[in-house]
Amino acid sequence: MYRIAVIGGSDTVIGFKALGLDTFPVNSAEEASAAFKQVFQGDVPYAIVYIEETWAQELQPAIHKFRSDPQLAIILIPGREGSLGLGRQALKDAVEKAVGSDITGE
């Protein structure tokens, strides 16, 4: 059975934990990298991985390796401080790749 993981700051992941998702609270880029590796090298298969934008910046090369996996969705979410625009840009890029042109009007 596939699971859902959330990697982010303690304030960000606590709500997801209440919903029963697997949470990985991190406080540094090193912890975020270790959590990301744990998600993909563990015995539990994940279908969705939410990553707080703050830490996604540091994990871009690792995230990019999994972008083409059709059985996995990596979704960037804003942190407590608000959005950095990375999630929106990732969505825009995915739509442009699927459709062949930018239809978002930005």
Domains along the sequence of the chain with CATH = 3-99 (3.40.50.10580)
What share of the chain has pLDDT > 90, as a percent? 34
Q: State residue 96's pLDDT score.
A: 55
35: closest CA among 49, 18, 21? 49
Phi-psi domain of 102 (left: phi exceeds 0; alpha: psi -120 through 50; beta: other): beta
Tokens found for residue 34: 């270790």
- Span 53-93, pLDDT tens digits: 888 888 888 888 877 777 888 888 877 665 555 555 555 55
**Residue 67: Cβ within 10 Å count:** 13
Q: State residue 46's pLDDT score.
A: 92
Please give the Cα distance from 32 to 66 (Å, whole number): 16
